Amino acid sequence: MKKLLEIADSDFLAALQKLARRKSYSENQIIFSEGDKSDFLPIVERGKIKMVRYPDIDKEVIIGIFESGEMFAVPPVFDGDPYPSTAVAMEETTLLLLYRKDFLRLLRESSEFSFAVIAWMCEMLREKTATIKNLATASPEQRVGNVLLRLAEKEGAENQFKILLRRQDIAEMAGLTTETTIRVIRKLAEKDLVKIVHGKIILEQAERLRRFLS
């Protein structure tokens, strides 16, 4: 995914810095909860955020993970509906909070920002469609494998990609228990589709895993 803070020109970044409010969050701190009024568009300046839903008690499903340079929660801020899920800091994080009136103003005044928002929404639609299909039809191996591939594709990596997320985070993205996810990752490693080095998952050849899952 193209990152707004990396592709924007200096004039736009200056305008954004002037309009947005900078706020820091500690690990596991909630930025907003599902159902809250969508007052602002968050842009990750530093750190990592996860968007989650809780379909059952004690069950968390990760909808998306957003890192430095990325914006998130665009649709509710655009149409004014409540936030559809909860945003939680995964580590020490600093956000730029662009309040809705300023967000709408920038959409009208900046073609660069408008195109970035359209591109974001198109990419999210494709990703959510793939996620729904994965959760509805795939086996545990396919679910976990597809999560690993999406993480690599997001960073534009095909070879020697280190997965920095915890097994629990991968499980929540795949809609599985942590225990099942650990077993699946071990099976993928036994088939030489991934490697485990010092507890971290290394995706050596994305295409090889892609062929196995197809």
pLDDT tens column, 99-153: 999 999 989 988 888 888 888 888 888 877 777 776 676 789 999 999 999 888 8
Query: Residue 185, SS3?
Result: helix
User: Looking at 90, 112, 135, which one is the last position of a domain?
Assistant: 135
pLDDT mean across residues, the chain: 89
Distance between start and end Cα atoms, the chain: 23
Q: Are residues 61 and 145 in the same domain?
A: no
Q: Are residues 128 and 77 in the same domain?
A: yes
3-12, 14-23, 54-63, 148-157: the lowest-pLDDT one: 3-12
Q: Are residues 10 and 82 in the same domain?
A: yes
Does the reported pTM lie above 0.85?
no
Query: Residue 53, SS3?
Result: strand
Distance CA 132, CA 185 (A): 21
- Residue pair 97/21 in contact (Cβ under 8 Å)? The answer is yes
Q: Are residues 162 and 65 in the same domain?
A: no
Average pLDDT over residues 169-182: 91
Average pLDDT over residues 60-74: 90
Distance CA 108, CA 73 (A): 19
Residue 30's DSSP bridge partners are 88
Q: Are residues 172 and 131 in the same domain?
A: no
Q: Are residues 128 and 146 in the same domain?
A: no
For the chain, percent of residues with pLDDT exceeding 70: 96
Q: Are residues 97 and 147 in the same domain?
A: no
Distance CA 66, CA 52 (A): 12
Distance CA 42, CA 40 (A): 6
pLDDT at 11: 77
